[in-house]
Structure 1
Amino acid sequence: MIKHTLKCYLLSLKWAWIPLLIMACCLVPAIIYFIIVSQGAMEEMNSSLSEEIGQLSYTIEDMINHIFDSAKSLPWSTPFQAIKRILFEGWLSEVIEEFIAETEGSVYAQAMSGNIKDTANAIVGGMSVFPIAIVVGLLASYLFTASFLRKKNCPRSIWRTILNVLIDLFFTTVLLAGVVSLLGLWAASVFISSIVIAILYGFISITEAYISHRDKDMKFKDIVNPKTIASLLISYFILLIFAIAIIALFFLIPYKIISVCLSLPVIVLTFINYNLAAESYVASKRKEPYKKMPRKKKEKKKISSVEEDEKKESA
Structure 2
Amino acid sequence: MTAVATPDKTARRGVAPTQGLRRPRRYGRVLLYVALLAGSIPTLLPFVWLVRSALMQDAQMFVSPPEWLPSPFQWSNFSEALTSQPFGRYFLNTLVIAVISVLGTVLTCSVAAFSFSRLRWRGRNVVFALLLSGVMLPYAVTLIPTFVMWQQLDAIDTIAPLTVPSWFAGAGGGVFNIFLLRQFFLTIPFELDEAAYIDGASPWRVFWTIVMPLSKPAIIVVTIFTFIGTWNDFLGPLLYLQSEENYTLSLGLASFQSMYLTQWGYLMAASAAVIAPIVALFFFLQRYFIEGVTLTGIKN
Higher-helix-fraction structure: 1
TM-score if structure 2 supplies the norm length?
A: 0.26
TM-score if structure 1 supplies the norm length?
A: 0.25
Report which of the two structures shows the higher radius of gyration computed on alpha carbons.
1
